[in-house]
Amino acid sequence: MTKITDHIAAAKKTLFSIEILPPLKGEDINSLFKAIEPLMEFKPPFIDVTYHREEYIYKKKDNGLLEKTATFKRPGTVAICAAIMNKFKVDAVPHLICGGFDKEETENALIDLDFLGIDNVLALRGDAIKSEGAFIPSKGGNAYASELVEQISNMNKGKYLHEETNMKKTNFCIGVAGYPEKHFEAPSLKTDFKQLKRKVEAGAEYIVTQMFFDNDKFFEFVQQCKQEGINVPIIPGLKPLTTHKQLTILPSIFHIDLPDALIEAVEAAKSAEAIKQIGIEWCIQQSKELKDRGVEVLHYYTMSKSDAVKKIAEAVF
């Protein structure tokens, strides 16, 4: 399959791409296909597939002891990527995270991806699980995204965890996350850029940003990356605001600011449908400005729902 960086290099116009969630446990793969199919007319060269860790609760047993029980699980990202590639003939980009895996398990997952011909990965540290509050790396696992990038990069050089000889060199194109409004755990913006540069120096070949609703923050981020010597492609991540509740949910979960003009328009809206339309129009204007400024790819966080993103794509592409 084709590397993300090769898709970008070969493009003669701004590309359209999407990120989807694996279906919930028990849902049929066709529910995911139905969310993707309406967007295929815009010819996404690649589709990102997120990975979500299991969540746990502790149930009290009759003997008074606590039993750790998994409460949340989505089907495997690797299998879903393979299904998407087979169904739609596009590149699928699995998200790989540090949390929940030791390095052996990570290596095994990468071997499986390589075997399936999946040559693109997005390397992330991942979030803390709710029961822990703060991110805790698995025993024997990578603690930072830069360490995960280094492990993948080593496999690209034929260097595995153990010193077998004549190991196959993988050919992964490695993407990482960037934060135009700073990662919430970084003590300063300068520190955050140092971490981002460390990921690029470890082998990352492109950056996908956290969602943002103010394009100036993206342009400032790109400029600062250049000043820090970060020269890989930077793909903006976009999401239409679709409900009133998202005024508080999005800043809380993703640690982003919403522009006052957007907030005021949503607050003044008379109906849920009006709010949704405001969010779509805002994202259309964002997209058009980014496209006019020569941004190479516009990447949309669909949450596996196609209707809003389809309306945006119809207006922009």
| Residues tagged active-site | 19
- Decide if 45 contacts 296 (C-beta within 8 A): no
Kindly state the tokens that stand for 201: 């120096």
Q: CB count, 10 Å around CB of 179? A: 23
What are the phi and psi torsion angles at 93 (to 5°)?
A: -115, 100
The H-assigned helical ranges of 16-144 are 29-36, 77-88, 103-115
| Three-state secondary structure call for residue 246 | helix
Kindly state the tokens that stand for 97: 């995270």
Which one, of 130, 131, 141, lies nearest residue 101 by Cα? Answer: 141
Length of the chain: 317
Distance CA 103, CA 157 (A): 17
